[in-house]
Structure 1
Amino acid sequence: MSSEVITTHSTQKPSKHGLRLTGLVVGVVLVAVVVIGLITRATQASSLKTWTNEQAVPTVSVIVPEPGKTGPVLDLPGRLEAFTRAPIYAQVSGYLKEWKTDIGAPVKAGQLLGEISTPEIDQQLLQARADLASAKANADLAGITAKRWQAMLGSDSVAQQDVDQRSGDYAAKVALMKAAQANVDRLVATKAFARIVAPFDGVVTARDTDVGALINSGGGTGPELFVVSDVHKLRVYVQVPQSYGPSIHPGSDAVLVVPEYPGREFHAQVVASANAVNATSGTTLVQLLVDNTDNKLIPGSFAHVHFNLPVDAAALRVPASSLIFDNAGLRVATVGTGDKVAFKNVSILYDYGKTVEIGSGLTAGDRVIDSPPDGIKDGDAVKIASQDTAAKPHEKA
């Protein structure tokens, strides 16, 4: 027996009111989504614009210019000279008989350096002494004769005229004797110059003659035989530029550095200034003295001379990275009122490498931008990097 399954399907349709309600809910949801999306986009756009505007304002670091603690160092070339240098020339002619000292030998005042053989002067001296003896004999005879005639005048045996003649002859003979004596003294003094002696304590720094050399008395025009130098102190001559002349005066200290002693310093002191500017070089000559009791320094050598110049209280130091050099000249950017950029033209007084000393254009209260961004213009707004917007002094060189 078979069974039949009978299935019944519902054929009921939704009402129009339900469809409307569903559509209304869906529309409200869609409108809410659109509104929320628009609000979100507007908020994001406003935030983006605010962030963009903030990023458009550059952030800068500022420093406060301050006076330097130490003055600049002026480095100039100088030359060393002996404290006293005496080139010795011959004052008599002859042949060099011998020399006693060579270069580098220390000598005392009056010490024999060499001796000249002077046969011609020796003969002249012999002749002069013979002439003196003859003149003395003639004067003695004339004196005796004059006395005798003076004695006879008292007995009226001779005339006064004859006595006066004999007295005059005696006076003439005495004058000839004195002239002969002066000639002898002159030749003796000249003969003494055959001994070449040191004029003062020092060192023989040159010997330009040898045994047997012909010596001509030059009076300063002939060749130098010896040179004696006093080197216990040395003079240092430096040509100082005109602009630094007023800062270097007698009593100022300086430091010398010479190539033969790297790393060693010698202290010197300014003792004189020419107080005149050389029109060709634009410099003034300054003389210093340096102690050389240990004989380390050599006359005629080259030296670097370092002068510590005084601090200029009116000058201000800033980092070299704060300088701007363009078509407008040398300037620095400062932060002015309202954190706006203000450019100032400046002039450099001294360049220390990492820092420079400004001679004009800045005041102690200026806030100078360090490493200003490219393209920054006068009047641009900036933000200061420090938290409290307070400028910090820069580190001095």
Structure 2
Amino acid sequence: MPMSPLVAGAATALLATLVSGCSTPPAAAAEEKKPEPVAVKAVAAEAATLRRTTTQPATVHAYYTADIYAKVSGYVREVPVDIGDHVKQGDVLAVIDVPEIKKQLLVADARVARSEAQVKRAESGKRLAEANLASARAGVVGAESRIASADALLQAGQAEFTRTQSLVEQRSVQQRLLDEARQRLDSGKADVESAKALVTMAQSQVAVAEASVAAAQSEIEAAKADTQVAEAQRGELQVMLEFAELQAPFDGVVTHRGVAPGDLVRAVTEARGVGSPHFIVTQLDKVRVRTMVPEAEASLVDVGDAVSIALSSARLPAVEGKVTRTSGSLDPSTRTLTVEVELPNPDGKLLPGMYGEATIVLFEKPDAVSLPASAIRFRTTGESYVYALDNASEVSIQDVTLGYDSGTTIEIASPLAAGQKVIDAHLKRFRDGDVVRVLEN
């Protein structure tokens, strides 16, 4: 049965449509959209002074504090100062009556005078002994001259005897003349022996006189030693009398008074113990601020390090200073290093006992390149790296060497340059060549 013209036209149109659909390119039908770049936040490496600090509790202490005690016992006669008074070194804080020491001092003066008189008497005895010695020596000289004279007479008698003996043998003179010459010779010999005895006696007198001089010198030395002892005892009493005045050891402020006029005070002794001080004097024109640095940072503290001290008192601003000294060793019980900062205190606003915090600059490194800690990545092997970005926001993985970590920023020791942008914290892991979209801050 032949098709109707209407059906034939519809079939023709359908066939043309099918043929037309089969001729469309497959690539155009399956075209896919490219993925959007991942959005990231970027941070730039900054070059700035890197500063490591430690902040620890700190307390203000007086530069010096002296507890004043009595060295002598007695009743307090006068107290010219009170708490809060400013005193100079040597100012009298209290006067103690010590009448017994004054009496002992009078006795000591008398002993010194007696000893000095004994010295003078011994010196007079020495002068007398020296005069006797001179006389004895003169006697020796006289005796020796008599020996010379006796020797001369003896020689003359010997010559006369020899001549007379020769004449007698020649029968020129009588025997009687020889006997007389012999008697004169014997007399001369006796005179010589007598003169020698006189010399010996005079020498003995010299020895006795020398011994007397030595004894007199010993008496002088003994008397002088007694005088020195008496003077030392008197000096000790004078010192004890000076202790009757309690004096300020340095310029400062009286921060404690423990006695009043009429009080009986006892001398401090090892047996009795110290007890409560009569006065406390505190030097406040400069103060010490002490803080304790933990063991982990103790080795980084040096004398001269800058310190900022913030006290709890709201009306006092932060005070700047430098580390003056350290203890040089750790406290075995706390494992901390004691650090002291000396501060001037001309107006007396810094009071001992004030509490606050001391921030010590342990080191400063100028022009150090750093990044936020969140921008640093770590491999499982421990190496650190960053995702560096170029001007086209293309990623490149760059290994870095880290330096000081402040907790929020980390120093990049190498090789990152200041101004280099890197990807901040992100969960995605990027690869070299990835392109990202940097979000505006």
* TM-score higher than 0.5: yes
Once the two structures are TM-superposed, the CA of residue 120 in structure 1 deviates from its matched residue by: 3.9
Cα separation, 2, equivalents of 1:73 and 1:326: 29
Change (3 A) 1:359 1:309: farther
**Amino acid in the other structure paired with 1:109:** Q
Change (3 A) 1:292 1:164: closer
Give 1:25's aligned residue. Answer: 12
Cα separation, 2, equivalents of 1:386 and 1:145: 117
Once the two structures are TM-superposed, the CA of residue 189 in structure 1 deviates from its matched residue by: 1.6
Aligned partner (choices 245, 251, 258) of residue 195 of structure 1: 245
User: Is 1:87 aligned to residue 54 of structure 2?
Assistant: no
Give 1:8's aligned residue. Answer: none
Give 1:11's aligned residue. Answer: none
Change (3 A) 1:243 1:22: same
Which has a greater percent of helix? 2
Change (3 A) 1:185 1:19: closer
Aligned partner (choices 28, 31, 38) of residue 46 of structure 1: 31
**1:371-394: per-residue Cα shift (whole Å, max 9, x none)?**
303xx236487432239xxxx9x9
Name the stretch that deviates more: 64-73 or 291-300. 64-73
Change (3 A) 1:339 1:122: same
**1:251-277: per-residue Cα shift (whole Å, max 9, x none)?**
443222111135612121233345x34
**Amino acid in the other structure paired with 2:404:** L
Aligned partner (choices 260, 265, 269) of residue 313 of structure 2: 260
- 8 Å contact from structure 2 (residues 95, 245) kept in 1: yes
**1:221-255: per-residue Cα shift (whole Å, max 9, x none)?**
62433232221112223334566567653444322
Structure 1 residues 79-118: aligned runs within 5 Å: 79-118=59-98
Equivalent residue of 1:71, what SS?
A: strand
Change (3 A) 1:162 1:263: closer
User: Is 1:371 aligned to residue 425 of structure 2?
Assistant: yes
Give 1:215's aligned residue. Answer: 266
Change (3 A) 1:106 1:351: same
Once the two structures are TM-superposed, the CA of residue 293 in structure 1 deviates from its matched residue by: 0.7
What is the aligned residue count?
Answer: 364
Structure 1 residues 153-172: aligned runs within 5 Å: 160=209, 165=215, 168-172=218-222
- 8 Å contact from structure 2 (residues 310, 358) kept in 1: yes
Cα separation, 2, equivalents of 1:237 and 1:44: 81
Structure number with larger C-alpha Rg: 2
Once the two structures are TM-superposed, the CA of residue 320 in structure 1 deviates from its matched residue by: 4.6
Equivalent residue of 1:68, what SS?
A: strand
Structure 1 residues 175-324: aligned runs within 5 Å: 175-211=225-261, 212-218=263-269, 222-223=274-275, 224-241=277-294, 244=297, 248-261=301-314, 264-274=317-327, 276-278=328-330, 280=332, 283-312=336-365, 315-322=368-375
**1:265-318: per-residue Cα shift (whole Å, max 9, x none)?**
2121233345x3427455544332212111110124333222345443585432
**1:74-117: per-residue Cα shift (whole Å, max 9, x none)?**
32222322233333333323343332222221001211011223
Cα separation, 2, equivalents of 1:69 and 1:132: 76
* Superposition CA RMSD, Å: 4.3
**Amino acid in the other structure paired with 2:267:** N
User: Is 1:385 aligned to residue 437 of structure 2?
Assistant: yes
Give 1:61's aligned residue. Answer: 41
Gaps of 5+ in 1: 1-13
Once the two structures are TM-superposed, the CA of residue 195 in structure 1 deviates from its matched residue by: 0.6
- 8 Å contact from structure 1 (residues 335, 342) kept in 2: yes
Cα separation, 1, equivalents of 2:264 and 2:412: 65
Cα separation, 1, equivalents of 2:134 and 2:374: 116
- 8 Å contact from structure 1 (residues 316, 359) kept in 2: yes
Change (3 A) 1:258 1:28: same
Give 1:3's aligned residue. Answer: none
Change (3 A) 1:267 1:377: closer
- 8 Å contact from structure 2 (residues 293, 336) kept in 1: yes
User: Structure 1-normalised TM-score?
Assistant: 0.72
User: Is 1:349 aligned to residue 400 of structure 2?
Assistant: no
Cα separation, 2, equivalents of 1:184 and 1:279: 48
Identity of aligned residues (%): 23
Give 2:183's aligned residue. Answer: none
- 8 Å contact from structure 2 (residues 386, 400) kept in 1: no
User: Structure 2-normalised TM-score?
Assistant: 0.66
Change (3 A) 1:109 1:325: same
- 8 Å contact from structure 1 (residues 216, 222) kept in 2: no
**Amino acid in the other structure paired with 1:377:** R
Equivalent residue of 2:48, what SS?
A: coil
Cα separation, 2, equivalents of 1:155 and 1:109: 63
Cα separation, 2, equivalents of 1:168 and 1:302: 69
